[in-house]
Structure 1
Amino acid sequence: MTEYGTQDDGSFRRKHVDTIRSDMGRNFKDEVGDDVELRQNSPQQAFIDTVAPELAQLWEATEAAYYASFFEDSFGEQLDKQLALAGFSRIPSRSATGEVVFSRDDPAPDDISIPAGTVVTTSRTETQPAIPYETTDGVTLNEGQTEVTAPIEALKPWQTEIDEEWLGEETNVGADSITRFDDPVAGVDDVTNPNPTGDEGLGYVSGRDRETDAEFKLRYQNSLAASGAATLRAIRSSVFNAAEGIRSVGVDEVHAAGDYGVTVTVLAPDVPDDDVAQALLDSRAGGLESFGSESGTATLGDGIERTEHFERATRVEIYVEADLTTSDTFPTDGEDRITDGIVRYIGGEATDGITYPGLEIGDDVIIDQVFRRVMEVQGVIEVDLQIGTDPNALAGSNIDVAATEAAMTGVTEVTINVL
């Protein structure tokens, strides 16, 4: 194994600036002799101090280029290009739609035209900018009338200068939030939105943020089995991706008493039975039967309804406490890294807000695997680790999980103490 660069385990070890300074000083003395003093104010040391940061940046660029070839370690545009080779593209942000009412105090003396593209905004606050919307159709405030309703849509990132973080989910605003004109409309006194924007129950489109790197990677990983329709992995992938509220999926074959089919177990407390049934019907092969104590109605392409059976799992909360002894190389965000590693192994919502499937339903929680996620973070010297289903009764042993249970954890259930 080489000391720096690509390692045998597939990682990349770059040389840091302090190491570069030390190595350059040692190499300089090897060439010209040990009697040369590299004092802080000497020309030789000044040269080393000037060149070392540049070389360190080259090492960083080499490391970034190496990891860019693996989608798991890529980010941003690198990740987009990696997964584009597999036919995947990132889900873009989506602007919320809604309606506003333009009004005046007195009846209009003449018809007042309000063209499409008229920009209205929310009020600016200390914590957020004014969020802009535009009318998508032209409307007319007729003579003798005092108000008219127009459809609106939040501006796209390329249509405004405000940051994209305010143009996705943030465009779903409450009623009476849009009250300002970007430019005054002659003959119109006020504007407001009587209903919340993005309310799908009212037929509006809900605003959505651009898919993050973590969400993009997870969606790609969960879809890898989709091409193998009717395999157990494909059925699990299809059902897991059928609804946002499905947290975990287990699939088992059934071979008993002449029956042949599958039993699908889901951890999905907020997902309707019919949605799970539809996902199951869409993923399994014809001729296979579905088994389970729960059922829902699914619809075939020709409109024929079928009853699909499945099982619902119960969530088992897993609590983790780790007392760490660390070195100076322990990163400032080391606690979050450890927490995320544990959550991704077991399953649950990590610090990035993404819910990871983790272990399959019925899988036991192995403490050595939790220990591994802790020790993966640089600077961890020693760890005293305990896990359990009761925060007041933790132990250093594995946790048994029943066939109809799903182990899950989260940021609040994982406690990391740096001693």
Structure 2
Amino acid sequence: MSDYGVTDKGFQMRRLDEIYTDICKRFKDEVGVDPSENPQSVMNILFTIFADAPAELWEAYAAAYQQLFPNTACGVALDNVMQVGGVSRIGQAKTKYFISCTGQEGTVIPVGALIQSSSRPQRTFQAVSASIISSANWRKLAIRPIESIAGTFTFDFGVSRNATSGEVGTYAESSSVTKKMTVSSYDDAYSQMLAAVKSFDALVKLGITVSDETDDQGEHSIVLTASGAADSFSATLCKYITVTEVTSNIQFESAEYGSYVLAEGVITQIVTTVDGWTACTNDITPIKGRLTQTDAEARTSYTNRVASRGTGTVASIVSLLYSDVEGVTFAAGYENYNDTTDAEGRPPHSIEIVVQGGTDEDVANIIWKNKAGGIRAYGKHYAYATDVNGNRQYLEFTRVNDVYLLLSITVTSSGGLDDDYVARIKSLLMEENLSAGATIRLQKFIRPIMENVSGVDYIEIRGLLSEKPEIETVADSSMLTGIVPVQINQQPIISMSGIRVVKA
């Protein structure tokens, strides 16, 4: 076997110096003159030129060989070689928000309707489909009696939870109240209706509060408000009730591809004017989008995702979630094959799939179609999949929740620090990419600071995961050094308000 080219040790390339030495030796053997003995000779210059062309060919051969493998291929070549493994590069996706939209009953928000954030840089979002602000899909509902009402009538009011997915324990429920009333005036009717709705015990179980509110014109309304921002209910109303205002959750997506996670309450500007649509805001965690995977990201995920060729395995489910569900930015799988509940609370013979992004329905369908028969899909979130017979099947998985990583940085310096060292350190930390479910090693943050901020002699870093993004009231003594544990369903996020930089 030749010592060069494709060998049992991989591809061995002939270098320019080796080619030059070889042709000089051959010329000397045939003619008796060694051109390399006189570097300034015309013969040596010609031989150097002659050696350069085959050296370039060898470099091209080596590059082509490297494009045959996922760990070294780039660009289109990487896409091609990944397809041999049955997977493809994860493409771009838009960030999806359920936006709280307030307006009159029956207001239609057309597909493509635009809203914007009040923050900078300003982000634009568009309605995914034509949707209706309606009492059939409300999280806040304001009602009152019809204007001309008197005498005896039957008051009928019902509420049903619209639930095809959600946290385990919050399933579809419905209840109604029926009461015969005799009223003498509008005010009398309003008082009796308010009392009847407030005494509706089922509302407490559904997490709905009832209040008497007054609008800018001094008109009273019976207002029902869901406790959860993502809750959705449907109301059954008798003909003696009129709806004054409804707040419904309507799905929007970012105008651009990528992950655009904004602070709550900043998407408030309505760009597309729609008669009857009065307000909007964001207070529900979005489904994050993403940009197309870079070569480095594609290589990193390839090994795990190639498992999709298997069936009935946790690895194959995770791989298919990445490949087949738009918007999935993280997925991991765990299983308990024992006959007893494990330390993490997983029941015997069950799997737990942890997912970030993607719609509940799409995620549920992938899990249902690819899990092994008789194995329970366990988790803290539930959804319904559709089986081959068209029947709905209940299953569970776990959603990734965002948490804030608070960081306290103590800088020691014997010389002069840059005037803007605090802003520069914060900016460097904001560029860090943190993975869901992965333990955070605080030492990784030290090197970028040491390399980019002059005058720093020593750095001490403390960290802590928190539900709130502010570090102002958190003492260093309550924070961790070394590593910060992250649960399998947590996505750490760094915010400017969660970073404290002080000089020792």
TM-score (norm 1): 0.41
Structure ranking higher on relative contact order (CA contacts 8 Å, 6+ apart): 2
TM-score (norm 2): 0.35
Larger radius of gyration: 2
